[in-house]
Structures are given as structure tokens and as C-alpha cells.
Amino acid sequence: MSSIESFEAEPAVPTLGHFINGDEVPAANRTGAVFNPATGEVSKQVALADAAELEQAIIAAQTAFPAWRQTPPQKRAQILFRFKSLLEQHAEDICQLITAEHGKVIDDAHGELGRGIEIVEYACGISELLKGEFSKNAGPEIDSWSEFQPLGIVAGITPFNFPAMVPMWMFPLAIACGNTFILKPSERDPSAPLLLAKLFQEAGLPDGVFNVVNGDRETVDLILQDSRIAAVSFVGSTPIAESIYQKGSANGKRVQALGGAKNHAVIMPDADIDNAVSALMGAAYGSCGERCMAISVAVCVGEEAATKTVSALQERIEGLKVGPGIDAENDMGPLVTAEALQRVKDYIEEGVTAGADLVVDGRGLAVPEHESGFFLGPCLFDHVTPQMSIYQDEIFGPVLCVVRVQSLNEAMALVNQHEYGNGTCIFTRDGEAARFFSDHVTVGMVGVNVALPVPIASQSFGGWKRSLFGDLYVYGPDAIRFYTRRKTITQRWPASSVTEDAKYSFPSS
């Protein structure tokens, strides 16, 4: 047998396409690699849509809109209830896909999915949420009311770090409001969003109402340019969020674009250090730090609080288990790509060069049998100053920086002067300090002894400053306003037997 005949080719990996008009649509031209972050291997290829593939989705959404718009909200809610039930039934399948392509530990994937299901649950109340406002006898025999009508075709562009939850921040409420939706998920972990679309169809959603178009920057540009798409929701980094807001707005779209973060936790001298450190561990190192709400800076007020905090963090980090996310015993999985891993390592080196004290260096971590995975151990810097890049920039990795200050006012000045204003928290037993902090800190989401103050489904999520471009947050009441437009109707039925004179003054009641 020749060497050629004896050669065994590598098994071909599957190629994921799109979900358009209720059907799976195979890749037409371009594709990209999807990696298993725990092994470093290519696990799939994913389609990267061109103009023709996006056109299919737009036509499907456009065709489905008139009938879906007229579907009573209660019937839309019934489909959402069935969708919620299917999500719960298939939770393990969805979470396995998240872990396989993102890398986060399986318990974290279940937590992500759970928060997404809460949004679906909130959307099930759409009949109440869409109730308009009525004024009888606003003028002589005149009634006036407002109603909230859908926009048409809307789109969502979502990041890799929450492949199930962040899409569910958007499409359930947009669809509940009567819109049709095109989702462009991250090309790094596209399997979970595709499964969500299939389950929504199984729940009874009409074809074309929800479409998933995989793609990259070229696909995003096509979405932003197309005048038939009325609104765009985006979550990602600040430079891209700003660009999407500018381009989408210039093309006449309603845009909400959530950007980056540098979330500070203020540790007061009277804080319960043990509980604060427990909260910091999860907030800094959960999901390998790949969260827009991750705590990446601990601002310790007073040397004693700082020393205790750093010492306790060191001790806890020693017991933190890092490995494949599929193993429920692990606390932290890998970063999503080799590029992400290298980017974080570069920041760590910059911190060392700038003079910060690298108390815990996770760069030497080796995970047995997963040497090619994108793993990095937890890192802890002390004596970080505001001039350093590791303080200024969103690292998006398992790196926690400790800054030492002497007062609450000094700590708040750091938070308020930073360009990002996504989330922050304070650990204290002092109600006066907590109230002052909550009232005067210029950040959109604030926690008091809560490290990750992510609002519940009936609230809305969003930051201030360069963490949000646009006026309205995602999900909650703001989403209803974002995905609808108000129409005010004034009505009068004069008596047919009376002929009225023309009135030239401006009408008033």
C-alpha cells in the first residue's frame, strides 16, 4: 500500500449556515473558523454572509412583518410562553454549545441562559407592556390616546461573551412588540443562537419573524447601510459601539449601542473583607473576566483595607480551579481565542513594565492534556495607578487591579473621571456612605455590597458616558420604547345635524 493510500485525512468539521425564513440556509461563499477554546482546535466553520444572503433575511422579515404586526399581543405572548418552556427543556443542550465555543464553565453558561429566560418571561407580559394612554374629553367631545406601534425590521448585533443571553436581551421584546428581527451573532460562538432560532420556530413563531444571519464586519456594514432595517441594537467594545451608532444614525436608523467598561469596586475600611473578597473573586475571574460587568479594579480606601484585601485575594486565588468549562468542578475556563489570550498577556506585560506589583501571575498556568487551549490563570496587580494602561483600558481577561486611596471622595473621583460608566459597587457597612456613593457616582448601574449589579428583567441595563451610545437601555421598559414608536390619535364625532363655523384660532381645550 502506498503512503498516499495509507494516509488518513483529518475529519472535516461541520459548517454552520444561517437560519432564514424558518429554514437552515447553507453557507454560500465565505466562511470562518470556530474554535474550541479548551483545546485550541477548530471545531466548526461558520458562514460569513454577503449581500445576497442578508438580502434573503431582509426579504423574509419584510414579508412576515404585515401579518406579525397585526397578530394580537396575547397571541404573540402565547408563542413566547411556549418558547420559554422549550428553552428550559433544552437548557443543557444550549449550555453545552456555549461552553464548547465560548469556554465558560458549564454552571456559568446555565446562569447566562437563566438570565436570558427571565427576559423572555418579561416579554410574555407584552399585552400589559403595550397598553397605551387614553384621555376622554381632552377637549369638547374630543378623545385622545397614544398607542405604541412596531418599527418594522430591526436587527441585533451581539458579542461573543454571552452568546445566548445578550441576543435574548433584544429579540424576544422586539418580536413581542410586533417587529421582525435579524440577529447577527458573534462568529466566534454561533451555535447557541442558531438553536434558539429553531426552538422559537418550534414554539410556533411564523417563518421570517426571526432570522439569524452569521457574519463578520462586512455583514455588519451591510446591515447598517440597508434602509429597510429601521433600528439596530448592539453590544460590544466602545470603539465599535461608537462607530455603529454614528453610521446607523447617519443612515436614519434608531440605534442603541452598548460599549465597554472599566468597573470599579470600592472597598471601604469598615467593609466585611471576607465577603467582599468572595464577591470580587466571582466578579473579577468569573467567565475568565470576559464580561462587560466584570470588576477589574478594586479601589481600597486606607492601607489596612488594601493589605487585607490583597492578602485574602492571594489566598483565594491559590484555590481557584482553572480548566475546561465542561468540567463542573472548575471555576474558570479559557479565553475565547488565541488572539484574546495574547492581548491579555500583552496588557500584563505593560503593567509590569509600568511598575505595578504583579502579586499573582497567571501566565505560567498549564492545564494537563489541554496545553493548546487558550488558558490563562488569574492575575492580580497591586499598587496600580490611574496613568497605567491596565487601569485605563478594558482588558477583558482575568486581571484584577488594586488601587490604594485614602478616602471615599478620592475613590469616587477615580470612578467619575474614567471614560467608562457602566457598572460600579461599594462594599461597606455604613448606610450614609453607601447612599452618598449611589447618589453621586456617575455610573449607570450601582451595587451596594453587590459586585455585579445587573438589573433584573423588569428594569433596564445600560451605562453612562462612553459605555452607551443612544438614549435608551436594553430590555425592561426602555426596550418597549426602543422597539416601538408612539402614535397619538385625537378623535371627535360632531353631531351630524349641526353645521359648525370655521375657527381660525389655535385649538385649545
401 belongs to the catalytic site: no
> Over the stretch 207-228, which tens digit does the pLDDT of each residue have?
999 999 999 999 999 999 999 9
pLDDT, residue 213, reads: 98
Percent of the chain at pLDDT > 70 equals 98
Cβ-in-10-Å burial (0-12, 13-18, 19+) of 12 comes to exposed
| pLDDT (tens digit per residue) in 54-76 | 999 999 999 999 999 999 999 99
Span 270-303, pLDDT tens digits: 999 999 999 999 999 999 999 999 999 999 999 9
Query: What is the rounded distance in angstroms from the CA atom of residue 188 to the CA atom of residue 309?
Result: 36
3-state secondary structure 320-354: CCECCCCCCCCCECCCCCHHHHHHHHHHHHHHHHH
What is the per-residue pLDDT across 413-441, written as a single tens digit (0 to 9) for each? 999 999 999 999 999 999 999 999 999 99
Residue ranges with strand state E in 322-434: 357-360, 379-382, 399-405, 420-421, 423-427
292, 379, 401, 425: the active-site residue: 292
Average pLDDT over residues 164-176: 98
Q: Please name the CATH architecture into which domain 15-259+467-488 falls.
A: 3-Layer(aba) Sandwich (3.40)
Cα–Cα distance, 37 to 26 (Å, whole number)? 25
How far, in whole angstroms, is CA 131 from its chain's centroid?
Answer: 27
Mean pLDDT of 383-394: 98
* Mean pLDDT, all residues of the chain: 95
Give the pLDDT score at 6: 39
Angle, helix 73-89 to helix 165-176, in steps of 10 degrees: 160
Domain residue limits, the chain: 15-259+467-488, 263-448
For 183-192, what is each residue's pLDDT tens digit?
999 999 999 9
* Band (4; pLDDT cuts 50, 70, 90): very low
- pLDDT for 12 equals 83
Cβ neighbours for 453, distance < 8 A, ≥ 6 positions apart = 293, 423, 425, 445, 446, 447
CATH number of 263-448: 3.40.309.10
8 Å CB contact between 424 and 405? no
Q: What is the bridge-based pairing of β-strands 263-267 and 423-427? A: parallel
Give the span between the Cα atoms of 36 and 386, in whole angstroms. 36
State residue 1's pLDDT score.
38
Residue 133 has φ and ψ, to the nearest 5°, of: -120, 135
Residue 89 banded pLDDT, cuts 50, 70, 90 = very high
Residue 139, pLDDT score: 85
Cβ proximity of 376 and 341 under 8 Å: yes
Asked if residue 3 has pLDDT above 60, the reply is: no
What is the per-residue pLDDT for 460? 95
Look at 406 and 12; give whichever has higher pLDDT.
406
| Structure confidence at residue 8 (pLDDT) | 43
> Are 171 and 210 contacting, i.e. CB atoms less than 8 angstroms apart?
yes
**pLDDT given at position 375:** 98
pLDDT confidence of 266, banded at 50, 70, 90? Answer: very high
AA letter at 277: V
Q: How confident is the model at residue 317 (pLDDT cuts 50, 70, 90)?
A: very high
Closest CA to 168 of 240, 91, 104: 91
Query: What's the confidence (pLDDT) of residue 509?
Result: 67
